[in-house]
A and B are shown apart, each in its own frame.
Chain A
Amino acid sequence: MQNQQEVNRLKDIVQNLLDEAKQQGATAAEAGLSQENGLSVSVRLGDVETIEHHCSQGLGITVYFGQRKGSASTTDLSVESIKETVSAACSIARYTSEDEYAGLPEKALLATSFPDLDVNHPWAITADEAIALAIECEDAARHYDAEITNSEGASVNTHQGIHVLGNSLGFLHGSLSTRHSLSCSVLAQRGESMQRDYWYTVARNANNLEAAVEVGQKAAQRTLRRLEGRSLSTRQCPVLYSAEIASGLLSSFIGAISGGNLYRKSSFLLDALDTQVFPGFVHIHEQPHLIGASGSSAYDSEGVATHTRDLVTDGILRSYVLGTYSARKLGLHSTGNAGGVRNLTIDPGVLDFDGLLKQMDTGLLVTELMGQGVNILTGDYSRGAAGFWVEKGQIQYPVEEITIAGNLKDMLRNIVAVGNDVDYRGNVRTGSILVERMSIAGQ
C-alpha cells in the first residue's frame, strides 16, 4: 500500500531526528511529523469561487538535557534542515532552566497496542465532482425560500493526514486519518432585517456526511428563523443551550479541570476532585477508542495510551484531565490527555428537544454565542447571544443583541436537564442543556 510506504518513510525521518538529537548530546527527545493533503472547493451563487489544493508538512522536536528542555520546528524535511532543527532545539536547551517536572512520559504509560479505529477513509472526489456537490448544496439553500436573498456559498473539503510521533523511549508510531466536510452559509432578508446562518456536516468517512440537500436546507431554515430578531428587556430566566452550542459549556468545564489551569491555580474548580460539580444525574465520560469518531486515537500527543474512562459520575468529579507535565506538577499521573480530551460524551437524558422546551416552559433558547467572555479562573461568564424567546414550551420570536451571564460554578450545578438530541459532529458530544437561571441583559 502506497500510504503505508509513506508512513514508513516518515517514521524513518522521525527516527533520524531522534538519533540526531542523541548525537548532539540530548539525554531524551520527542519528535513529531505531520503531512497533510487536501482539496477545498467553494461555490457561490451557483458558480465556482475557489479551488484550493492543500499540501503541507512540518516536523517538530523537543530535546531534553537532563531537566532542561528546548523545542524547534520546521516545514523543511531535508537532511540538512533536520540537523539544523535539532541543533536549534539543543541550543535553546542551554538557556532554559532545570525543571524537575520536565521530561518524557513514564515508559509504562505509553501506548503499546494500536487498534484500527477506522478513521482513515480517503475520498476519491475530483474537483469537478466536489464543485457539483457544493452547488447542489447551495442550490437547496438558495431555492428553499424567496426570502433567501444572498449567499456566502457552500464548500466541500477533504483532507488526509499522516501523523508520526516518536520518542527516545522507543515509541514510534504513524497513523493515517481523513476528515471531510460540507458546509453552506446563506443570507435572508425581510425588510430591514438581514441575517446569515450556516450548517455543516463533517465525518471521517464521506459516506457518513449528511446529504448535500439536507445541509443546504438546514442552512436556509436556520437563517430564515432568525429574521426580525429583537432584544429582550433585562431579566433573569432559564436558558436552554441548543445541542450545537452546548458543547461550549462542557469545553469550559474541561478547561477548568485541565492540568495546566490546575497547577497554575487558575481554575474555578481547584480542589474539586470527588466533590459535587454537577447535579446527580450528570455522567460525563471520555471514549477515545470510538470507531470512526472525530476525536478517536489510541494515544495522546505524547504517546501515552488513552483510555475509556469516567470524568463525572453522579455529578461528582472523578478525574482531572492531565498530560505528563501537569500531572507531575500535581503529584499525579498522566491521564492520556496531552492535547485534550477525546470524544467527550455527556449521557443524554430522556427528553428530546421539544420536551426540553416544554420543561423550560418560559425562557431563552440560545442558538448562538459570541465573544470570549469566559474567565476560567473565576468562572465569571458573560457572552453575547442570539436565539429565541420561549413561552409555554413554544418558540415565540427570534432574539438578538443580548448577553447571558452567570458564574460557571453555579451554571454547571444548576443544569436541570440534558436532552437526547445529541450533536455527534464534534469532539464533545452533547444534547441540548437546560440551565435553571441566568442573567439576561438587553434593551
Chain B
Amino acid sequence: MKKLLTGNEAVARGAYEAGVVFASAYPGTPSTEILENIAPYKKDIIAEWAPNEKVALESVIGASIAGARSLAIMKHVGVNVAADPLFTFAYTGVTGGTILVTADEPGMHSSQNEQDNRYYAKFAKIAMVEPSNSQEAKDMMLESMKISEEYDTPVLFRMTTRICHSKTIVELGEREEAIKKPYVKNLQKYDAVPSVARELHKKVEIRLIKLEEYSNNSPLNYFEWNDKKIGIISSGIAFQHAKEVFKDTVSYLKLGYTYPLPFEKIKEFADQVETLYVIEELEPFIEEQIKARGIKCTGKEKLSNQGELNPDIISKSLLNKSHEMIEYDASDIVTRPPTFCAGCPHRGLFYELGQRKNIMIAGDIGCYGLSGFAPLNAKDTTICMGASVSMAHGAQKIFNRYNENVRAVATIGDSTFFHTGINSMLDVIYNRGNSITIILDNRITGMTGQQDHPGTGYTLQGMPTTAIDIADLIKAMGVKNLRVINPNDLNEVNESIDWALAIEDEPSVIITRWPCALKKYSSQDLEEFGPIDSKCIIDEDACIGCKQCVKTGCPALIYDPEKNKVDIDPIQCVGCEVCMQTCPVDAISKVGVKND
C-alpha cells in the first residue's frame, strides 16, 4: 500500500517493520512525532518518554544488551545531552540492533542552534545513514538494524527538519519479527573499565575499516550517470534540491550511508567527472574528508554553511540563475512572532516579574522562553535546557562577591525541571546559593505539543502512573523556603516575588501551578483546577482606553485605536482573569458560559 507520510511517520513505520521492541525519546522539534507515531504499536513496541535524552539513550542501551532491537530518538541538541553514554556505547557495541535518530534543524525554526550532528558519527566512530525522503527514511530503518547487528555498532540515523516534516510517498511493508537474543553476561564487552575499554577501542578501529568496506558496496551509495562535465556528490535533502536544479543534466553520487564515507566510490566518481561539486546542508562534513584525501572538489566556497539549503540557493550559487520574480513593496508587512496563548498560565508571572528592577532573569527552553519579547520583556538569558537554575546560581555568587545589588531569578518549566533542572537545583542547595528558582508547572510539556512527563501521572502509552510532585521533591532536597502559588492571581504572584527577594541568604523556590491553556484536563486536573467554564467580558462604556490590560500581551485582547477601546475575543478567552486584575477602572468582569 502507498501512503503519503512525513519523514517522522516513515521512521516510526520503519521502526515497526524493522522489529524494534523498545523505543525511548525526549520530545524536541523536529523529532517529536516519531515516538508519538510509534506509541500506537502497543502490542509490538514498548514506547516511553524519558525525562531527558541521556536517560533515553541509556534505557535503550539496556534494552539492546538485554537482547532486543532498540531505538532512541532526539533532536540535535539532545544528542549533546546523550553524548556521554553514546561515546562508550560506541565502544561496547550492541546485542539487539540499535539506532539513534538525531533530528537536526538547519534554519533553526524552533531551536537554539543549528549544529551539524553528522560530526557525532565521526567523533564517536559509529555508522551513519542520511535519508533524503520518507521512503528512504522507512527503508533505512531496516537496513540500519542489519548494519547495527552485523557490524556490532550503534547507527546514527540523521534526519533534518525538511525530511522530518515533508510528506512524500511511501510503500509500506510488513513487520520483520526479530528473534530476541539471549541475555549473556559479558564483561569483556559491556564492562567498560580501562582494561576492557583499551581492547574495545582496538575493535572500534577495526570496525571502522569494515564499515568503510560496507560503505563502498552499500546500495545506499549509488551513481546516477549522465553527462560527465559536472558531477555532484550529495546526501540528505540537499540531494533532492540538487536534482531539482540539475535534473538529468549532470552525474550524481548519491550518499545514503555517510560515515565512514565510500572513498573508493568517491574516487571512481571524481576520476570520471570534469568538475566535482559537493552539495551539502550546513557544514562541509563530506567535503572536508574528500579534500583530506587529496580529491579536488567545490562546496562551501559557493554554498553557505548557514541555514537551510533550497534549490534557489544552489541555482544562484552554481549556475548564477534564479526565477523571475514579481517586484513589490513589502516594507509594511508585519511579522507574527509567537506569543503566549490566551489563558497561558505563564503570563501572570512574567507580567509581574518584568516590572521588577535589579534582577537578572535567567530563562530556559520552553514556551515560557517567549517571556523575553515585548510587551512582557521578562528575560535576560537562554542557553540550554536546565541552564537557568545553575546560571542564576553562578551569577548570584558573583553579584554577592562584588556587592552588586542584583538578584538572580531562574525561570524553568516543569518538563525542563525534570529534564536537567533537578541537577542544577542540587547545585544551588549544596553550594549554599541564594538565587531564586521559579518553576512554572503547567502540568505538561507545552512547547513541543502536550507530551506527558514524570509529573503528569500518565505514561506515553496511556497508563496511569506515579505523578512525581515537584514540591515534595524540592522539600526532600532540603529547601526550606518554598511556595506553591496560582500564577493567575497577580496579588499572590507579586507578594511571593517580594517574599523571595527578602530571603537573602538561602535558596528560595516558587512553584506556579496551573495547567497549560491547551492541555486536555485529566480527571485529577478537573478535581484540582475545576472546569474551564467562564470567560472575561469588557464593559465598553467603562473602558478608558489606557491599554494597561494589553500590556499582559494576551492575544484575545483587541485594541481599537479609532474607538480607543479594548475588546475581548470570546473565542480565544478562557477566563484566566489576568487582564481583569490589571484594569484600573474595573471594566472587565467574568461571565459563566458553557465550555464548547
Q: A and B: partners?
A: no
